[in-house]
Amino acid sequence: MTPNTILRSALFPFWLTGCLVVLAPLSHAAIHEVRDGDSIQASVKAAAAGDTILVYPGTYRETVYVDKDDITLKGVVEEGEWPNLEGDKQLNDAILYSGNGFSVEWFKITNYKGNAIMGQAGNNFSIRNNWIIDTGVYGIFPEFGENGLIENNVLSGIEDAAIYVGMCDHIDVRNNRVFDNVAGIEIENSRHALVEGNIAHNNTGGILVFITPGLPIKTSYDAIIRRNTVIDNNTPNFAIPGSLVSTIPAGTGMIVLAGDDVIIEDNIISGNNTAGIIVTSQDFATDVAGDPDSDPNPDRVQIRDNVMYDNGNDPATDVKVLMLTQLSTTGPDIMAYKGAAEAERGSCVSRKGAYRTFGLGDWTDCDSPTVTAADAVGDKPTLAGTTRDISTKMLPEPATPRVITVDADGAKLVYQGICAGCHTYNIRMIGPPVMAIKAQYGSDATAIAEYIAAPEKKRPDFPTMPPQDHISEAMRLEVAKYMLALTK
């Protein structure tokens, strides 16, 4: 059936964190209505910038790809019935977007193999009020996006990260509930992030701030982890073997792995059987030598005024061995491990004596008058003191929309926004590294381009790659050429 279309003149606003930011005056915006039996993708194809697609309760077995700017996908919940995107463990992705100004809310998304909602280099996005269950590797996964809001979503049953912010800038992750996942919320190689008011419980690890080596973006800094409830994250790790999160020990409340300028403040952290907070260097979980351009150590981490109790009751073996050096079999509330324990890293903790700790001997007191703000480096902010007067990390105005052209510059954006989430240059992630791909294909860019569109399982130790046939044939070839030209 052809979806009904109701034309109207309107000025469509973009609501973020309670502030009205007008993207553009749209004189002929439209509402497209999709009902059970219709195709959501057909309405996306018919839509123009500024349009809203209303999806009514029903079951929709499809992948929706949005490559247009300023499109809103909005579910309509009636008498407790949701519009349900259902993957039947056959489809890989529910919603993929590369358009700027994209908004999606009020969808139930279940049983996909890869991702529920994945952003592919789109800026100025809003992902709100969705209910996501067992969608494979990731739940909500913005990749290489700038200026976005992830708010009021509920996610469970994800085998990597329920909310995974990858290589993004200026992102707020607020008031979500994540449970029964491997990682609840992961901020990876991203800058300027606020993670606030979330409930992370019964995951393997609750909230993570990572620098993963081998990615195009080499840093992760300026993250505020504030006013979250992080409890009982003791689920056995069921991640894909060999993936980075497969190394997270069950019972971990928070991990800062090589992230810089991270402030952990005013959280409730309890009942995590290995440790409440682990601050550590990259060699805790991955190969440091594989990426000399990535700083492996966490710098200037501040742990301030958290409520922490009943952590460490049954620590993972490695942590238990460390605690035995202090004649204790109980895990710590706060643990600084490897490079994180060094005084020159500039980290601090308030009320250190209130917590059971390991490795914090050289950390200073965050409330001491001798603790001064770190000097700003490049676009890194100066961080010191409480964050309670900071309400958002999003930009005051929309970020410049990304324009993806079919050439080498566009191929770089596509690689960063799609491929790099699974394929670093030389470090194993979900997929094989680019070095291994180059060794297999030599200079045959055409063969890689064809594989991108219709992949098949070739390596027994990696999952089958999902098809990326929404990328044009010409762009797939440009991406293949770009990957073959990479040297680090």
pLDDT tens digits for 244-288?
888 899 999 999 999 999 999 999 999 999 999 999 988 776 665
pLDDT band at 9 (very low <50, low <70, confident <90, very high): very low
pLDDT attached to residue 484: 81
DSSP-assigned beta bridge partners for residue 179: 156, 201
* Measured CA distances, 360 to 317, 348, 367 (Å): 20, 9, 15
What homologous superfamily is domain 408-485 in, according to CATH? Cytochrome c-like domain (1.10.760.10)
pLDDT greater than 70 at residue 112? yes
pLDDT greater than 70 at residue 373? no
Percent of the chain scored above 90 by pLDDT? 58
pLDDT greater than 90 at residue 16? no
Is the pLDDT higher at 99 or at 27?
99
pLDDT band at 10 (very low <50, low <70, confident <90, very high): very low
pLDDT greater than 60 at residue 2? no
Percent of the chain scored above 70 by pLDDT? 87
* Measured CA distances, 238 to 185, 318, 331, 382, 466 (Å): 16, 19, 22, 38, 20
pLDDT attached to residue 215: 85
pLDDT attached to residue 23: 41
pLDDT greater than 60 at residue 372? no
Among 72-81, 142-151, 353-362, 410-419, the minimum mean pLDDT is found in 410-419
pLDDT greater than 80 at residue 86? yes
The C-alpha atoms of residue 163 and residue 128 are separated, in whole angstroms, by 12
pLDDT band at 76 (very low <50, low <70, confident <90, very high): very high
Structure tokens given for 173: 């992750």
| Inter-residue contact 128 to 174 (CB < 8 Å) | no
pLDDT attached to residue 409: 80
Q: How far from each other are the two terminal CA atoms of the chain, in whole angstroms? A: 49
Each residue of 453-486: pLDDT tens digit? Answer: 888 877 777 767 777 877 888 888 888 888 888 7
Neighbours of 293 (CB within 10 A): 9
Neighbours of 151 (CB within 10 A): 21
The C-alpha atoms of residue 63 and residue 57 are separated, in whole angstroms, by 17
pLDDT band at 381 (very low <50, low <70, confident <90, very high): very low
The C-alpha atoms of residue 423 and residue 239 are separated, in whole angstroms, by 17
Among 57-66, 172-181, 230-239, 400-409, the minimum mean pLDDT is found in 400-409
What would the mean pLDDT of 47-56 be, rounded to a whole number?
A: 97
What would the mean pLDDT of 33-53 be, rounded to a whole number?
A: 97
148 three-state secondary structure:
strand
pLDDT band at 290 (very low <50, low <70, confident <90, very high): low
pLDDT greater than 70 at residue 333? yes
What would the mean pLDDT of 70-88 be, rounded to a whole number?
A: 98
Structure tokens given for 67: 């490559």
pLDDT band at 182 (very low <50, low <70, confident <90, very high): very high
pTM: 0.86
Among 20-29, 184-193, 350-359, the minimum mean pLDDT is found in 20-29
Exposed / middle / buried, residue 149 (Cβ in 10 Å: 0-12, 13-18, 19+): buried
Structure tokens given for 487: 């040297």
Among 129-133, 156-160, 310-314, 480-484, the minimum mean pLDDT is found in 480-484
Q: What is the mean pLDDT of the chain?
A: 86
pLDDT greater than 90 at residue 37? yes
